[in-house]
Copies of this chain bind each other. A is one copy, B any other.
Amino acid sequence: MRQEDAPLVRTLPLFAGASETTVEKLLQASFLQRFPAQVELISEDQPADFFYVVLEGCIELFANAGPKQSTAAIVRPVSSFAAAAVLRDGNYLLSARTLEPSRVLMIPGESVRAAFAGDAAFAKAFALELAAAYRRTMKALNNQKLRTAIERLANYLLQEHQTQGAAGNLTLPTEKQTLASLLGMTSENLSRSFGALAAHGVKVTGREIQLSDITSLETIAKPTPLIDDPMY
C-alpha cells in the first residue's frame, strides 16, 4: 500500500497494541483498495487469500444455496470480515459485495497468520475480532429461531434508532430488499411487517422512518440485551 495511507491505517484498533515491526510487515504486504458499489469482493468456497478490514463504505456478506440467497451480515467501518477463514487457511464461507463505494484494507492471509504467531498483542486483537463476529452470528441465529418476522423488524428498528441517536427517527442504511434478506424474510413480508408496525407508531417514508411510540414498539419487540445489544 502507499506510504501516505499508512498513518491512518495504523490507528486501527486491530493494530493498537502490536509492535512497530508487526504493523510494518502487515502493511507492506497489504492493499488499500477502493471499490465502486455492487462489486463482488469475494466469492464463497474460494481459498481465503485475504483478510478484509472495511475503512469506508459498506459490505454485504451473503450465502447462496441453489436459487436462494441470504444476507448474513452488513459490515461497516471500522470492522472486518473473513477472520475465521484466513486463520484456518480454508475457504470463504460467504460471498461479499460492496453496497456503496468502499475503501478496504486487504491483508494477505499468510501475513495475518505470521503476525498472529509472532505478536501476542496482534493475536489478541485478531482473536477479539473473531470473538465479536462469533457473538454477532450467534445472536443472529437466536434472533432468527426465537422470533417472528415482525419482532425481528421491531428490534432492528429500535437498535438502529439507538445507534442513530435516539431522536425519534432513523434512516435505513440499505435498500429494503437487503434489509429483508438480513432479517430472514422476503421483500413482500418486510413491506407488510412495516404495515403492521404502523399501529405502533412506525411511519415509513422511503428510507426515512419515524418512531412516535417507542414504548408500544418495545412491547411488540420484547428486546433483550443478549440478542439486541451490539456491545454484548
* Residue among A94, A120, A137 with the highest chain B CB neighbour number at 10 A: A137
Pair A94/B138 contact, Cβ less than 8 Å: yes
Residue interface mask A85-100, B partner, CB < 8 A = 1: 1011011011000000
What number of copies of this chain does the assembly contain?
2
Given contacts A44-B226, A70-B146, A116-B124, contact A135 B65 (CB under 8 A): no
Interface of A: prevailing SS = helix
Pair A142/B63 contact, Cβ less than 8 Å: yes
Given contacts A66-B222, A144-B145, contact A127 B45 (CB under 8 A): no
Pair A65/B222 contact, Cβ less than 8 Å: yes
Pair A141/B140 contact, Cβ less than 8 Å: yes
Partner of A65, one of B45, B126, B142: B142
Q: Which residue of B is nearest A94, CB measured?
A: B138
Give complex CA distance A90, B128 in Å: 11
Give complex CA distance A19, B45 in Å: 35
Give complex CA distance A116, B93 in Å: 26
10 further contact pairs, Cβ within 8 A, besides A84-B132, A116-B123? A65-B142, A65-B226, A70-B145, A91-B232, A120-B120, A123-B124, A127-B127, A134-B134, A137-B137, A137-B141
Query: Can you give 28 A-B contacts (C-beta < 8 A)?
Result: A63-B145, A63-B226, A65-B142, A65-B222, A70-B145, A70-B146, A72-B141, A84-B130, A84-B135, A85-B135, A88-B135, A90-B232, A91-B232, A93-B138, A93-B139, A116-B123, A117-B124, A120-B123, A123-B123, A123-B124, A126-B127, A127-B130, A130-B130, A130-B131, A130-B134, A137-B137, A141-B144, A145-B184
Seen from chain A, the residues whose Cβ lies within 8 Å of a Cβ on chain B are: 44-45, 63, 65-66, 68, 70, 72, 83-85, 87-88, 90-91, 93-94, 116-118, 120, 123-124, 126-128, 130-135, 137-142, 144-147, 184, 222, 224-227, 232
